[in-house]
């Protein structure tokens, strides 16, 4: 299999807290890889390390064989790492302009940037809201701005941090196919999600983190039957699969 | 239809401003208008880093660097003020390079503090480096009227120079705000991490913003010195006039917008002069008390500045089909 991203022994401590410790895994080109784990497991921190917003203490992060660990975030973005944020904070400008922001790096004129941004908005079905301010949109729509903005960077690997959290079931049903659609357009996806059903439905493989460590990796079925995972994560709650 | 009306209104305003000196020959009124133009330019230049959320209280540094450079070149070396404009702009930008270190490293109030310190240090250098700056005595621009010397017998030429300067800086700041640099700065202001993750070199954007801002402020400093004839450390690097005043104008008018600095400068310049003149003579620093109260009022009640109150009036009404806001 062709590995797009290879992470080895990645470690990050906050003072005495090992937020991410000795994490190693690979993301295969073209897959949807899920990342689950209880709150505080270190999932968002792992994304921060891969996207470069945090510097790692140890370990390597290789995208198509090239080391990312020492590169600033904007270079990693240019190399193909895109991400969304768990807490959506759209820029204080119209929906269209939000998507235009990263596009300027690829298209020099405003007009070209606008056209390209519009295409992406069509893909995430926000084209009709292009001239609205994000504050007038629903949470589900704002999460789609996040995805659109990240797609505008033309990522090879897209890191999605809880893009379904906080949405009602019908909104989840509306946003979920989008993830598959993005993958089908040629983007590899690593995504964090709390909703087990949704996660199991669309990921080919799942990583499980607990207290900074990677404790399991496999198909959704393998992972949910793993005893470690059941005790660490699914715990008292009834497993949903 | 709407744009037509706007163009006509702008044309009338421009024509009106062009003929002001013809009808108002009073030097006081002409001076006040000229000062307003200078402050519009200064505030609009100060505002460029503010697109990126960076709040400077040290722009007197660039103003003074520009002014001193041109004045020293002219008075001590006999170099034309027109060359002085380029030199002053350049030296102010060098100052910008120095201030860019704290700009990209320090967050929020810490950058603001660094900017204050920067301007104050330069003011002290101007006091102490007597051989170059004449110390606190200052430099006088000799009165040799003529376009070549940028010195005039009437206030009229500088009225037009300052007006052109104000218009040029507004247009430039509008162009910057709608260019990729402007979008990148606004993105960084809203969420620096998100901007970085979206591929923006935010440090570079902040740096470029400060380069524009410092260079323009230096140029304004050059022109102001030739308008004012005298330059001494307390006026050239004046915290009150050239660091606080543009920032006040910006906040009260609406920081980070195009028209906020214009509105702020129009309202605050006459008020500032009045307060400095009347209250300043009763008790030194009393004008700051009034500023402080105004600032508290605006920040609390109209955080977007006066321009945000006028927004519904500026903007065309949008159709009300927006989806319900959540949260
Ligand atoms: N910038 C930070 N400074 C200190 N501690 C942090 C920081 N970011 C996250 N943490 C801590 O690291 C742990 C992992 O957090 P996080 O990665 O956000 O977990 P998850 O996304 O899996 O819920 C938590 O205990 C959190 O409090
Ligand atoms: Mg998280």
Picking from A68, A72, A73 by the largest number of B CB atoms within 10 A of its own CB, the best residue to mutate is A73
Cβ A89–B190 below 8 Å, yes or no?
yes
Quote the domain boundaries for residue B180. 31-239
Q: For B218-263, what is each residue's pLDDT tens digit?
A: 999 999 999 998 999 988 898 888 999 999 999 999 998 999 999 9
Which ligand has the nearest atom to the CA of A84? 2
Q: How confident is the model at residue B313 (pLDDT cuts 50, 70, 90)?
A: low
pLDDT of residue B2: 65
Q: Which CATH class is domain A3-234?
A: alpha beta
**What are the DSSP calls for A32-73, one per residue?**
EEEEE--TTSSHHHHHHHHHTSS--SEEEEEETTEE-TTS-H
pLDDT of residue B327: 31
Provide, as residue numbers in chain A, all residues whose Cβ is less than 8 Å from the Cβ of B195.
Answer: 91, 101
With H, G, I as helix, E, B as strand and everything else as coil, classify residue B190: helix
pLDDT of residue A175: 84
| A contact residues 171-210, partner B, Cβ 8 Å cutoff | none
CA distances from B59 to A45, B68, B144, B239 (A): 39, 14, 30, 8
pLDDT of residue A233: 62
Ligand 1 pocket by C-beta < 6 Å: which residues? Answer: A 14, 17, 19, 37, 39-45
Edge-first strand listing for the sheet containing A32-36: A81-83, A157-161, A188-192, A32-36, A205-210, A213-218
Domains in chain B, number = 1
pLDDT of residue A238: 41
Chain B residue closest to A135 (CA)? Answer: B325
Residue with tokens 């323009």: B216
Range list of H helices, A110-168 = 110-123, 139-151
Cβ B184–A101 below 8 Å, yes or no?
yes
pLDDT of residue A240: 42
With H, G, I as helix, E, B as strand and everything else as coil, classify residue B72: helix
- Number of other residues whose CB lies within 10 A of the CB of residue A170: 9
pLDDT of residue B324: 36
- Among residues of chain B, what percentage have pLDDT more than 90? 57
Chain A residue closest to B256 (CA)? Answer: A92
Q: For B16-70, what is each residue's pLDDT tens digit?
A: 888 888 887 788 889 999 999 999 999 999 999 999 999 999 999 999 999 999 9
Residue with tokens 């009300």: B320
Q: How confident is the model at residue B321 (pLDDT cuts 50, 70, 90)?
A: very low
- Which residues, 6+ apart, have CB-to-CB distance to A176 below 8 Å? A164, A198, A201, A202
Q: How confident is the model at residue B322 (pLDDT cuts 50, 70, 90)?
A: very low
- Judged by a CB distance cut-off of 8 A, whether residue A97 touches chain B is yes
Q: For B80-98, what is each residue's pLDDT tens digit?
A: 999 999 999 999 999 999 9
Work out whether the CA dihedral B77, B82, B86, B92 comes out positive or negative: positive
Cβ B198–A77 below 8 Å, yes or no?
yes
Spans of chain A below 50 pLDDT: 237-241
pLDDT of residue A218: 86
Picking from B105, B194, B255 by the largest number of A CB atoms within 10 A of its own CB, the best residue to mutate is B194
Ligand 1 atom closest to residue A212's alpha carbon, by position in its atom list: 14
Mutation probe of ligand 1 site: the residue of A45, A160, A194 with most atoms within 8 A of C-beta: A45
pLDDT of residue B319: 37
What is the gyration radius of the CA atoms in chain A, in angstroms? 18
Three state DSSP letters for B3-60: HHHHHHHHHHHHHHHHHHHHHCCCHHHHHHHHHHHHHHHHHHHHHHHHHCCCCCCCCH
Give the max Cα distance, chain B.
68
Residue with tokens 């380029």: B86
Q: For B186-207, what is each residue's pLDDT tens digit?
A: 999 999 999 999 999 999 999 9
pLDDT of residue A132: 93
Q: For B254-290, what is each residue's pLDDT tens digit?
A: 998 999 999 999 999 998 888 877 776 777 777 778 8
pLDDT of residue B326: 33
pLDDT of residue B29: 87
- Judged by a CB distance cut-off of 8 A, whether residue A105 touches chain B is yes
pLDDT of residue A217: 86
Picking from A79, A80, A101 by the largest number of B CB atoms within 10 A of its own CB, the best residue to mutate is A101
Angle (CA) A8-A13-A18 rounded to 5° is 85
Name the residue with higher pLDDT: B14 or B123: B123
- Across the interface, of B178, B183, B322, the residue whose CB is closest to A101 is B183
| A contact residues 207-236, partner B, Cβ 8 Å cutoff | none
- Among residues of chain B, what percentage have pLDDT more than 70? 94
Which ligand has the nearest atom to the CA of A12? 1
Provide, as residue numbers in chain B, all residues whose Cβ is less than 8 Å from the Cβ of A171.
Answer: none
Residue B199 lies in a domain: yes
Backbone angles phi and psi of A214, in degrees to 5: -85, 120
Structure letter (DSSP) for residue A124: T
- Judged by a CB distance cut-off of 8 A, whether residue A124 touches chain B is no
Q: How confident is the model at residue B311 (pLDDT cuts 50, 70, 90)?
A: confident
pLDDT of residue B93: 98
CB A207 within 8 A of CB A25: yes
Measured in angstroms, the CA of B288 and the nearest CA of chain A are apart by 32
pLDDT of residue B292: 84
Query: What is the CA A56 to chain-centroid distance, rounded?
Result: 18
Provide, as residue numbers in chain A, all residues whose Cβ is less than 8 Å from the Cβ of B184.
Answer: 101, 104
The model's pTM is 0.90
Residue B138 lies in a domain: yes
């Amino acid at each position: 299999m062709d590995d797009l991203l290879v992470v080895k022994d990645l470690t990050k401590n906050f003072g005495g807290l090992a937020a991410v410790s000795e994490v190693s895994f690979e993301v295969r080109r073209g897959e949807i890889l899920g990342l689950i784990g209880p709150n505080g497991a270190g999932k968002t921190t792992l994304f921060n390390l891969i996207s470069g917003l945090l510097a790692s203490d140890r370990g390597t992060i290789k995208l198509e064989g090239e080391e990312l660990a020492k590169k600033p975030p904007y270079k990693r973005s240019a190399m193909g790492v895109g991400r969304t944020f768990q807490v959506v904070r759209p820029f204080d400008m119209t929906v269209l302009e939000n998507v235009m922001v990263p596009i300027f790096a690829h298209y020099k004129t405003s007009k070209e940037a606008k056209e390209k941004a519009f295409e992406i908005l069509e893909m995430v079905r926000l084209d009709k809201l292009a001239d609205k301010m994000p504050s007038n949109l629903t949470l589900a729509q704002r999460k789609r701005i996040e995805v659109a903005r990240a797609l505008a960077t033309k990522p090879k690997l897209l890191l999605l941090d809880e893009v379904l959290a906080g949405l009602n079931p019908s909104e989840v049903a509306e946003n979920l196919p989008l993830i598959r659609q993005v993958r089908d357009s040629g983007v590899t996806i690593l995504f964090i999600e709390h909703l087990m059903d949704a996660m199991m439905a669309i990921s080919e493989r799942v990583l499980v983190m607990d207290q900074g460590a990677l404790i399991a990796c496999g198909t959704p079925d393998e992972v949910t039957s793993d005893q470690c995972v059941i005790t660490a994560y699914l715990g008292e709650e009834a497993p949903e699969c | 239809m709407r744009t037509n009306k706007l163009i006509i209104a702008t044309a009338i305003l421009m024509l009106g401003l062009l003929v002001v000196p013809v009808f108002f020959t009073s030097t006081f009124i002409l001076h006040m208008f000229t000062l307003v133009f200078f402050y519009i330019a200064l505030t609009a230049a100060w505002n460029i880093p503010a697109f990126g959320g960076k709040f400077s209280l040290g722009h007197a540094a660039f103003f003074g660097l520009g002014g001193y450079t041109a004045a020293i070149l002219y008075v001590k070396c006999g170099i034309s003020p027109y060359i002085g404009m380029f030199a002053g702009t350049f030296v102010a930008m060098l100052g910008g390079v120095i201030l860019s270190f704290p700009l990209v490293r320090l967050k929020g109030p810490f950058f603001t503090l660094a900017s204050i310190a920067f301007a104050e240090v330069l003011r002290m250098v101007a006091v102490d480096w007597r051989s170059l700056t004449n110390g606190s005595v200052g430099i006088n621009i000799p009165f040799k009227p003529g376009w070549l010397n940028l010195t005039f017998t009437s206030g009229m030429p500088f009225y037009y120079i300052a007006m052109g300067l104000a218009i040029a800086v507004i247009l430039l700041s509008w162009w910057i705000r709608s260019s990729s640099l402007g979008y990148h700065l606004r993105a960084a202001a809203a969420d620096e991490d998100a901007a970085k993750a979206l591929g923006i070199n935010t440090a570079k954007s902040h740096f470029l913003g400060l380069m524009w801002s410092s260079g323009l402020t230096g140029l304004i400093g050059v022109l102001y010195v030739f308008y004012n004839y005298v330059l001494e450390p307390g006026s050239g690097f004046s915290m009150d006039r050239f660091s606080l005043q543009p920032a006040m104008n910006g906040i009260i008018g609406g920081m980070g917008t195009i028209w906020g600095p214009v509105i702020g400068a129009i309202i605050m310049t006459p008020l500032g002069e009045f307060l400095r003149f009347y209250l300043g003579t009763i008790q030194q620093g009393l004008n700051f008390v009034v500023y402080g109260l105004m600032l508290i009022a605006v920040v609390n009640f109209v955080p977007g500045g006066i321009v945000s109150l006028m927004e519904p009036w500026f903007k065309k009404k949008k159709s009300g089909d927006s989806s319900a806001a959540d949260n």
